[in-house]
Amino acid sequence: MLKIDIEACIGCGVCVETCTYDAIELIDDVAVVNEKCNLCGSCVDTCEVEALSIEREEKDVQADLAEWSGIMIFAEYRHGKVAPVSFELLGIGRQLGDQQKAPLSAVLLGSGLGDAAKDLIAYGADAVYQVDDPALEYFTDEAYGNILEDVIREQKPEVVLAGATAIGRSFIPLVATSLATGLTADCTELAIRSEDGVLLQTRPAFGGNIMATIECPYTRPQMATVRPRVMKTAPYDANRGGEIINYQPKPERMQSRVKVLKNVLEEQDQVNITEGDIIVSGGRGLDNEKGFDLIKQLADAVGGAVGASRAAVDSQWISYPHQVGQTGKTVNPKLYIACGISGAIQHVVGMQSSETIVAINKDPDAPIFDVATFGIVGDLFEVVPKLIEKIKENRGE
């Protein structure tokens, strides 16, 4: 229960404003909590007179807590390639490992892995546990989850990180639940508190409208999925030393009740909007499916992926995997070009962390300009073709 110290409360109302759940009211100039409170703790921090507190029972700390050490990352491998986010995980993993003076390891699962493990070492891993088996050709939550769980139980890393991708966000919750430990999704910032080795995991919530820092104090490992393109990749060093361990899972642990029948790639170049450096997005301003061809041409010219607002997806000008926003994907490329998109909050939460945002819209008051680094007020049917032309010209085409 949220405790309110009536003596301390000055009735300022800041907590009332802070509560997302409408659970605090001011009655006779003191804060009163009602039954809507779900103990999220947002208010405790904001009270300047420290009148608010949440009483927690002393929790049992996992008995072998001190035995867990080292950082482990899950290296995602698909279609013959290590996913870029895995190298980013090695970047942050190296940083955390160096701080803890503990090793950094990677778990690599798949079929026909080639030299992938060597790359992971060159990017910072001290050890790679790999399983190269035809049974792992397709990703399945159960087989990948079981194996990762087993490696974690044996190696006891204090921190386990995976990419917040369609794969990572699907099977890491299974692993965390099996290990009876906490998991924080889609982190954008990670740091270890040196006093006690607790991982401070910061992530957006409420569609990016607020940020929250989360701890997992009582159990190990501390697990997080990390948003792609946020962490920096460590430099590649082909001469780095490291150990490759061919891990042997028990055969029954490689089985999955769910069977993948087929793996279908879609317009590969332009659809993977979560990993590209550049995204060109189109909205209702494109008018029709034909208009969207313009977006595709611009994306081609800049070597980017194609994104879309929900209005464009709902009009069936482009498929849902391209949708950016609250009910689509969250992206943060180096460059995001929004064409004919008004900038509704549900769209903006999905792209506002992009490094550079360009907005092209004929309405000078469109909210998209509030988040834009560079804005062009104009007709996209005039601006975009010019842009394409100039880019080609500059390249001498």
Partner 1 sequence: MNIIVCIKQVPDAKDVRLDPKTNTMAREGVESIMNPFDRHALEEAVRLKEQHGGKVTVISMGPPQAEAVLREAVSCGADEAVLVSDRAFAGADTWATTYTLGKAIEKVGEFDLVICGKQAIDGDTAQVGPGLARRLDIPYVSYVRKITDFLNGAVRLHRLMDDGYDEIEMPLPGLLTVVKEINDPRIPSLKGKMKAKKLVIQTFSAEDIEADPKQIGLSGSTTQVVKVFAPQFKGERAMLEGTVDEQVEQLLEKIEPIL
In the complex, minimum distance from the CB of residue 263 to ligand FAD, in angstroms, rounded to a whole number:
26
Q: In b/e form, how buried is each residue of 92-105, taking b as 16+ CB within 10 angstroms? A: bbbbbbeebebbbb
Q: Which of residues 186-245 bind partner 1 (CB under 8 A)?
A: 186, 200, 204-219
**The one segment of 95-103, 126-134, 235-243, 389-397 that binds partner 1 by CB under 8 A:** 389-397
In the complex, minimum distance from the CB of residue 88 to ligand FAD, in angstroms, rounded to a whole number:
24
Q: What is the CA radius of gyration of the chain?
A: 24
Q: How many residues bind ligand FAD (CB under 6 A)?
A: 28
For residue 388, give both structure tokens: 């394409």
CB 48 within 8 A of CB 5: no
Q: Which of residues 239-278 bind partner 1 (CB under 8 A)?
A: 256-266, 268, 271-272, 274-275, 277-278
Residue number, 140 or 155, with CB nearest to partner 1 = 140
Q: Considering the rule CB under 8 A, would residue 173 count as an interface residue with partner 1?
A: yes
CB 31 within 8 A of CB 16: yes
For residue 35, give both structure tokens: 């039954």
What is the Cα–Cα distance from 290 to 317, expressed in whole angstroms?
Answer: 8
Q: Which of residues 38-97 bind partner 1 (CB under 8 A)?
A: 38-42, 45-46, 54, 56-57, 59-60, 78-79
Site string for ligand FAD, 330-359 (x = CB under 6 A): ----------xxx-x-xx--x---------
- Quick one: DSSP state of residue 284? G
Q: Which of 105, 164, 170, 124 is nearest to 143 (CA)?
A: 170
For residue 18, count other CB atoms closer than 10 A to its CB. 16
Residue number, 91 or 321, with CB nearest to ligand FAD = 321
Q: Which of residues 275-314 bind ligand FAD (CB under 6 A)?
A: 283-285, 309-312
Enumerate the β-bridge partners of residue 184.
Answer: 224
For residue 288, count other CB atoms closer than 10 A to its CB. 10
Residue number, 240 or 362, with CB nearest to ligand FAD = 362
Q: Which of 47, 52, 55 is nearest to 17 (CA)?
A: 47
Residue number, 249 or 276, with CB nearest to partner 1 = 276
Q: Which of residues 19-38 bind partner 1 (CB under 8 A)?
A: 19-22, 35-38
Site string for ligand FAD, 372-391 (x = CB under 6 A): -------xxx----------
Residue number, 115 or 382, with CB nearest to ligand FAD = 382
What is the Cα–Cα distance from 375 to 359, expressed in whole angstroms?
Answer: 5
Residue number, 306 or 372, with CB nearest to partner 1 = 372
Indicate which of partner 1, ligand FAD, none lies near residue 309 (CB less than 5 to 8 Å, by partner kind): ligand FAD
* Residues contacting residue 59 through CB under 8 Å, at least 6 positions apart: 217, 218
Q: φ, ψ for residue 14 (rounded to 5)?
A: -60, -40
Which residues of the shown chain bind ligand FAD in the complex (CB under 6 A)?
A: 283-285, 309-312, 323-328, 340-342, 344, 346-347, 350, 360-363, 366, 379-381
